[in-house]
A and B are shown apart, each in its own frame.
Chain A
């Protein structure tokens, strides 16, 4: 039986664009182009490498997002994933991480899995808690923040590089892992991969398909509520120190006032 790998990916606003919020304080997705979260490309890459090493594996990419999120799936498919699952439902708009993890967990169970691979965090929300939430909801071990990961004989093995120590971790499958941006450069889609991507199956699911109630998710179901959003003030010119013999003293005084020294 082949190894079933599910990679969770997110469609995020392009960080180089002018990102804004809509009136309901959710991300204004119409204002800026979206793309596959760069940190999730590492997840796709590791899943593909594990699949290639195993020789008998199927990689499914999964996303929860609006219509345009299909672009993120398409990119992952063009990199080499075998099929995709797109959970899309108007009632999902505004869902927080708790709700998102519930939807992802249902979709992963629906798809069937031996290994779930996530990036270390999304590049927009940057919370990095989805892997842990998923492991909890799926009732399987979590091995997170890996910079190296391999699968053999029903066991996933990984290396986590911390500030103070490097840990070697193992878990029996099924399991959830997350990989960091140090895990290995993500491949570029090849011409053949791009041409093949269009023909690969993309399964569309909504909340009904997953047996979820609209009240459990969405803006209303979120555990946190954003009251207001204020843009960071534009950078100001700053303080210019003119050196007339005692510039060093002025600099030291400035840094001391800012509590840097």
Chain B
């Protein structure tokens, strides 16, 4: 009856080995600094060093550009395992993918070589600049302008909520090239940190993911060569949206990781914590909470992995699955981390334990790369 070699609905041995490797690395080199990184709101340099040393900082870069050429599911596993110990650190590989995917998807060969190669070598991280002060969910309402001037484009404007701004060397920037065409008048460009006229705002003072700098990026007459455009003029918004179809799955992965970290911690705690003469894990009220948490997490994981497979295959229903995975996993992570704080009682509410950090970090996954309300709009428009 049973056949152990039935290979549906389980991930490959290689993916499991990758999980083991990243988990050991994350526990040894990233976890010890997670609390300090959060407390001091400082960049997780130790995590970046460890990820670079083990070629895990941008595993999605194809092999022809010197990358690891990892598939979307492998990417999810890397993000999950890093986020399990430190959500801020998981934004290093996550945003490297978000920032560079427009180049992977739409850039010409020369642009790919020029920017994916240094990313793969660890010479510079990549950020993604879409949102603006007045253009969040309505991204097409952006004001940043790019004007053609001979062999150059000249950029002017402000981008807001830019993850790893100031740390990254490279920036994919969406800007209006034809104001009459709204979303079809938007183009994407690669801007370098060192381009004259690029500057950064003060770091945002955030609730969570404090180790990952979020700043405004200012473009003041930034003059870049015309060959820095990503794809054809007017395709920038489509590229930006197609990018998000893929990278929302990384946010789902981040949510899974944060939730798994919280569940693992709470599970250990309730076995140790004694009240009324026994471990609180023996009380059915506690057991029901843990069962719900594990159930939600596993459902989110299955949906996320199914979405990752669709991302890798570029299936027609990717848009629905990407939005659904991001939305479901982030909502689940918020519930799970909140319940994990509850399971630790007063201790969970203090900074002496990692649960409150995980709960604060989980919140952003419901907001960025499209709020969960926007995800529902996307899903409704792309019902399977």
Task: State the A residues within 8 Å of B (CB).
Answer: 74-75, 78, 187-192, 194-195, 197-198
Contacts and interface: CB of A to CB of B under 8 A. Distances in A.
A102 B25 CA distance: 36
B55 interface: yes
Contacts of A188: 21-22, 24-25, 54
Main secondary structure, interface of A, reads helix
A155 to B, nearest CB: 31
B18 interface: yes
Interface of B: 13-14, 17-18, 21-22, 24-25, 54-56, 59, 68-70, 74, 78
Main secondary structure, interface of B, reads helix
A49 to B, nearest CB: 15
A74 B17 contact: yes
A191 B70 contact: yes
B19 to A, nearest CB: 10
Given A188-B54, A189-B18, A189-B21, 11 more contacts: A74-B17, A75-B17, A78-B17, A78-B21, A190-B56, A191-B18, A191-B56, A191-B70, A192-B55, A194-B14, A197-B17
A198 B14 contact: yes
A191 B68 contact: yes
Contacts, number: 38
B14 A192 contact: no
Contact of B14 (A75, A187, A195): A195
Contacts of B21: 78, 188-190, 194
A198 B377 CA distance: 43
A194 B78 CA distance: 13
A40 to B, nearest CB: 15
A190 B68 contact: yes
B350 to A, nearest CB: 28
A189 B17 contact: yes
A194 B54 contact: no
A116 B232 CA distance: 58
A187 to B, nearest CB: 8
A230 B17 CA distance: 35
Scoring B21, B54, B56 by chain A CB atoms within 10 A of each residue's CB, the highest score goes to B21
A192 B68 contact: yes
Contacts of B78: 191
A189 B17 CA distance: 9
A194 B17 contact: yes
Contacts of B24: 188
A189 B21 CA distance: 6
A95 to B, nearest CB: 28
B26 to A, nearest CB: 10
A194 B54 CA distance: 12
15 contacts: A75-B17, A187-B54, A188-B22, A188-B24, A189-B18, A191-B18, A191-B55, A191-B68, A191-B70, A191-B74, A191-B78, A192-B68, A192-B69, A195-B14, A198-B14
